[in-house]
Structure 1
Amino acid sequence: MRFGVVGTNWITEEFIRSGKEIPGFSLEAVYSRTEERAKAFAEKMGAPHTFTDLEKMAASKLIDAVYIASPNSFHASQAITCMNQGMHVLCEKPFASHAEEVKQMLEAAKRNDVLLMEAVKSTFAPNFGVIQANMHKLGRIRRYFASNCQYSSRYDAYKEGQMSNAFDPQFSNGALMDIGIYCIYPLVVLMGKPERIQAEAILLESGVDGQGSILLRYPDCEAQVMFSKITTSYLPAEIQGEDATMIINKINRPQKVEIRYRDGRVEDLSVPQTPQIMHYEIRAFMELFQAGERESPTNSHLHSMIAMEIMDEARKQIGLCFPADQPRDS
Structure 2
Amino acid sequence: MKLGMVGTGLIVGEQLQQMEHRPGYTVEAIASTPRSLPHARELAARHAIPACYDDFLEMIVDADIDTVYVGVPNALHLAVTRAALGAGKNVICEKPLAMGLEEAQDASDLARERGLFLWEAMNIPYLPNYETLRSLLPKVGEPKVAACSYIQRSRRYDAFRAGETPSVFDPARGGGALMDLGIYVIHYLVGLFGEPERVSYAANVVRGVDTSGILTLDFGGLVATGVVAKDAEGPSRCLVEGTEGYLLQDSKPSSCGPITCHLRDGSETRHDDNGFAAPERRWDAEFASFERDFETGDLGHCYRMLDLSLTAARVLDEARASAGIALPDSHG
TM-score normalized with structure 1 length? 0.94
Correspondence for 2:250: 249
**Residues in 1 aligned to 2:19 and 2:2: alpha-carbon distance in whole angstroms:** 11
Shift of the 23–138 alpha-carbon distance from structure 1 to 2, 3 Å rule, reads same
2:321 paired with 1:316: yes
Q: Is the 8 A contact 1:14 1:278 kept in 2?
A: no
Q: Distance in 1 between matches of 2:14 and 2:39?
A: 17
- Match of residue 237 from structure 2: 236
Q: Matches of 1:17 and 1:185 in 2, distance apart?
A: 25
State the alpha-carbon separation in 2 of the partners of residues 126 and 30 from structure 1: 31
Q: Is the 8 A contact 2:150 2:237 kept in 1?
A: no
Q: Which residue of 2 aligns with 1:197?
A: 199
Partner residue in 2 for 1:158: 160
Query: Number of paired residues?
Result: 326
Q: Structure 2: which 5+ residue stretches go unaligned?
A: none
**Which residue pairs with 1:3 in the alignment?**
3
Paired amino acid for 1:253: S
What residue in structure 1 maps to residue 140 of structure 2?
138
Aligned to 2:228: 227
Deviations 1:163-196 (A, max 9, x none): 2111111101100000111111111111111111
- Matches of 2:228 and 2:188, distance apart in 1: 14
Deviations 1:134-189 (A, max 9, x none): 21211111122100011100001111222211111110110000011111111111
Deviation (angstroms), 1:297: 5.8
CA distance in 1, matches of 2:22, 2:74: 27
Question: What percent identity do the matched residue pairs reach?
Answer: 28
Unmatched 5+ residue regions in structure 1? none
Structure 2 residue matching 1:214: 3-state secondary structure: strand
Task: Evaluate the alpha carbon distance shift between residue 296 and residue 9 of structure 1 in structure 2; reply closer, same or farther with a 3 A threshold.
Answer: farther
SS of 1:324's equivalent in the other structure is: coil
C-alpha distance in structure 1 between counterparts of 2:52 and 2:4, whole Å: 9
Residues 12-27 of structure 1 mapped to structure 2, 5 A cutoff? 12-27=12-27
For residues 216 and 195 of structure 1, do their structure 2 counterparts lie closer, same or farther at Cα, with a shift above 3 Å needed?
A: same
Quick one: structure 1 residues 272 and 92, their matched pair in 2 at CA, closer, same or farther if it must change by over 3 Å?
Answer: closer
2:287 pairs, out of 278, 282, 286, with 282
Match of residue 187 from structure 1: 189
Matched, 1:293 2:294: no
Q: Which residue of 2 aligns with 1:259?
A: 261
Q: Distance in 2 between matches of 1:73 and 1:208?
A: 14
Secondary structure of 1:142's aligned partner: strand
TM-score, normalising length from structure 2?
0.94
- Whether 1:103 aligns to 2:105 is yes
